[in-house]
Amino acid sequence: MATDRVLLVDDEKEFVEVLAERMRSRGLDVTCATSGREAISAVEEETFDAVLLDLAMPDLDGLETLRRLHEIQPELQVMILSGRATVKTAVEAIRRGATDIFEKPTDVETLVERIRSARATRIAHEDDVAEEHIEEILRKRGW
């Protein structure tokens, strides 16, 4: 069974490292990024089942990072990791295509569960796309 791949993005290095360790111990393959730019580079190079994205980051904030991630991969499942201070922005992020909001402090079990269902959603979407593609081929060839 393939491992769920997640990109964890937060400018607090120690937070990212500890949460990543906890998620890895639950069988997830976790890549860490401590800025929006690092996250964008990672998504350009690799495929992830989900991205966990902090909103309040210096340089490139979460909303802008979300926009750029979706430019690269429109179907990417981006989940927001939000402090209470940024709940309003998190709601805006949902309007802009994020799939879920987690308020810090998070329950790691819930996080892992949602990431696993994100993977299932991604695979289902890929199946739909593949099915549409096959139907298109069949239709064009008149089979």
Partner 1 sequence: MGNDHRRPLQREGVLFFGDVIAGLSHELSNVFNIINEIAGLQQDIVGGAQPESAGVANRLTELAGRIKAQVERGETFNQFLHSLAHSVDDANIAFDLGDTLELAGSLAARPARLARVELVVHRPESPVTLVGDPFALLLTIFGSIEVVLDAADSERRVEVNAAPHGDWARLFITSADPLPPGVVDEVAALEIGRLSWGAAHTLDPPPPEPPRRIILDVPAVAPALKATADDKGQEDPDGN
Q: Tell me which residues touch partner 1 (CB under 8 A).
A: 12, 14-15, 18-19, 21-22, 25, 56, 83-85, 104-105, 108
Least Cβ distance, residue 22 to partner 1 (angstroms): 5
Nearer to partner 1, 42 or 87 (CB): 87
CA distance 13 to 9: 9
Lay out the sheet containing 50-54: strands in order across: 29-33, 5-9, 50-54, 78-82, 100-103
Residue 21 CB, nearest distance to partner 1 (Å)? 6
Compute how many other C-beta atoms are within 10 angstroms of the C-beta atom of residue 32. Answer: 17
What is the distance of C-alpha 139 from the center of its chain?
Answer: 34
Q: How far is the CB of 6 from partner 1 (least distance, A)?
A: 15
- Residue with Cβ nearer partner 1 (19 or 69): 19
